Chain A
Amino acid sequence: ETGVTQSPTHLIKTRGQQVTLRCSSQSGHNTVSWYQQALGQGPQFIFQYYREEENGRGNFPPRFSGLQFPNYSSELNVNALELDDSALYLCASSPTGLAGGPGDNEQFFGPGTRLTVL
């Protein structure tokens, strides 16, 4: 069983550009969450997807958007990049919950994508 994978590992963009980060969930995990971790800080919740629908969102502007695909892989898209968007972006998947509901228990994290905005 493969773990959670993310691509790319590192990315450098300039202000105003757009970026797409990708995450492949563990097999059997139907819920994925995305987090932003600035240097020296704990991860901040961006949003969660369950069955291809956004299932909750943190305090991030609409230029942060996501997608989840039928195979439960997902994307994080950020438009109009700002310098403060420089961070480690982490995705986490959770096993399918009771009766096929959202995964609401243990989270398994990928290695992250380091985004630098110049």
Chain B
Amino acid sequence: KQEVTQIPAALSVPEGENLVLNCSFTDSAIYNLQWFRQDPGKGLTSLLLIQSSQREQTSGRLNASLDKSSGRSTLYIAASQPGDSATYLCAARKRGGYQKVTFGTGTKLQVIP
């Protein structure tokens, strides 16, 4: 059974700082891993999708990496802004057969002006 863990559960940083969010998964047989942002009480906004054959993806100030062998993915946010404050979730999609998606519990990020 796939388990996805995100550490830390909460993070507070001053504006302008670079930061890294961590996502660990127990089953390396994944099809892809997707990072999302969720604002309070809202749905999920897709940030980056990394296929199992890829090592990283970049979009603007965001960079996500994937290391299947160690069961880890990281989301790097450069030059953080108060508008980046949200909960960040990672989701691993299983490879083979029915491709179930397992989410982590999220990291709540606060960027202080």
Contacts and interface: CB of A to CB of B under 8 A. Distances in A.
Given A105-B49, A107-B34, A45 B102 contact: yes
B42 A111 contact: yes
B26 to A, nearest CB: 15
Contact of A43 (B46, B98, B100, B103): B103
A72 to B, nearest CB: 18
Interface string A53-88: 001101000000000000000000000000000001
Contacts of A108: 46
Contacts of B4: 42
Given A41-B105, A42-B4, A104-B31, A109 B99 contact: no
A92 to B, nearest CB: 8
B89 interface: yes
B41 A58 contact: no
Given A55-B98, A109-B44, A42 B89 contact: yes
A99 B83 CA distance: 40
Contacts of B60: none
Given A42-B4, A104-B93, A109-B46, A88 B101 contact: no
A24 B105 CA distance: 26
A21 interface: no
Contacts, number: 57
B44 A90 contact: yes
A44 B43 contact: no
B100 A56 contact: yes
A107 B101 CA distance: 10
Interface in B9-47: 31-32, 34, 36, 41-46
A44 B2 CA distance: 12
Nearest to B97: A56
Nearest to B95: A104
B33 to A, nearest CB: 11
Nearest to A40: B105
7 contacts: A4-B43, A6-B43, A43-B44, A48-B98, A56-B98, A92-B44, A104-B93
